[in-house]
Structure 1
């Protein structure tokens, strides 16, 4: 009897290890799913590793090679063994373990821009006191587009996100909002005026004032900020904006 490794088991172990790496030993999982799904990723990773270890080796009972009990066909190849090319499947699994994909960035934002969900134009509650006031891009965009009470008027706000650049030279600070995972991400973008554009995908904090563009509730009303200052910052551990 002999023991030989099977590529299926190695694949399961690598995939399970990748899940544990991003969910148990770091916060990289926040690039792909919401925080509440972490326990499910950990359990899934552990289960994949357990299944991989269980199936890593298969027992291959020795046989006497004779004409009546031979598995070697006329072409001279032993078809009872796993093809060696199957081991190439471990390459993408190993890459996933060693080099996790980055979070979605400007490429996704430019192609998946979506309006903030709203029932229609109306008066919004007053904003908290303090200047500059830290706002999410979702809050700023919804008030800029729908608030007939102009609650942003006269207020200095600070927005944090990554940079997207348009072909016409305009640029925006953006953030992606997820409902469940990165697959359903929606882009939130606020155009920035009065400041030079940093490099695309760089994270910035933009401080400025609301620039009205049209009557709330119409297509002319867009989220635009007149910048007072733009500072580079590091990407947060959770790059996505919560609802």
Structure 2
């Protein structure tokens, strides 16, 4: 039994390493947690943890093979006197096993409408200069570009322009729903919400991804769109990258 306990920390290291490799090397699931540029670091970390786990398992096995009856008797003596020492490490360390197993079996979805509903900031990044918009109709725009122009562009570059915006659906109020994106600078912990009120079209199911075509509603208090058409799309490979294209 003692030999098995000594193998458990090594198993935990290998388990966490395999979970990292599963989401970063064998799939694109890591994009639900961190930005794309961190993939090499995740792969390297996964490899290191697996190697350390295997090395620790081999070392524990060799050590167990060298132990004799004298050590077992000494261990029994310690237990009788109430000061046995556990080789399994801190019990709280095993809390790491749960997220590792979850990542191996299934991955939680990317941040979506639940996050938007609990974000009350509605903040829009301030910009002082805006480049001229291409002469396209409809004009694909990212949500960050659309919202900043709607709030801060004194020249009204969005006026009378038909635009196409892509994002996921979040519940709104009685008259409009929210077309949203969640963008990250490093990881999901620093997520920032972008949202545009959509009028004129009934709200699709929450968290579904859509491309909406319409015109800017300048009279609205928040960035808003009078929609004329909507297209359902699959979730982009990187849901946290705010792009004009799906």
Name the TM-score, length of structure 2 as normaliser: 0.83
Question: Could you list the runs of 4 or more consecutive aligned residues of structure 1 that deviate by over 6 angstroms after TM superposition?
Answer: 65-69, 75-78, 85-88
Local SS of the residue matching 2:76: coil
Aligned counterparts, 1:26-105, within 5 A: 26-57=27-58, 58=60, 59-60=63-64, 61-64=67-70, 70-71=76-77, 73-74=79-80, 80=86, 82=88, 89=95, 90-105=97-112
**TM-aligned CA deviation for residue 144 of structure 1:** 0.6
Structure 2: distance between partners of 1:191 and 1:20: 39
Aligned-residue Cα RMSD (Å) equals 2.8
Which residue does 2:126 correspond to in 1?
118
**TM-aligned CA deviation for residue 76 of structure 1:** 9.8
Greater strand fraction, Structure 1 or Structure 2: 1
Local SS of the residue matching 2:70: coil
Structure 2: distance between partners of 1:63 and 1:102: 52
Count of paired positions? 233
Local SS of the residue matching 2:185: coil
Structure 1: distance between partners of 2:72 and 2:218: 88
Structure 2: distance between partners of 1:66 and 1:45: 36
Which residue does 2:142 correspond to in 1?
136
Name the TM-score, length of structure 1 as normaliser: 0.84
Structure 1 portions without partners, runs of 5+: 215-219
Deviations 1:75-126 (A, max 9, x none): 899755649x88965344211222122111111122234423215xx56322
Does 2:198 align with 1:154?
A: no
For residues 66 and 159 of structure 1, do their structure 2 counterparts lie closer, same or farther at Cα, with a shift above 3 Å needed?
A: closer
Greater helix fraction, Structure 1 or Structure 2: 2
Structure 2: distance between partners of 1:145 and 1:6: 59
Deviations 1:43-99 (A, max 9, x none): 11111111111112512212237876734623899755649x889653442112221
Structure 2 portions without partners, runs of 5+: none
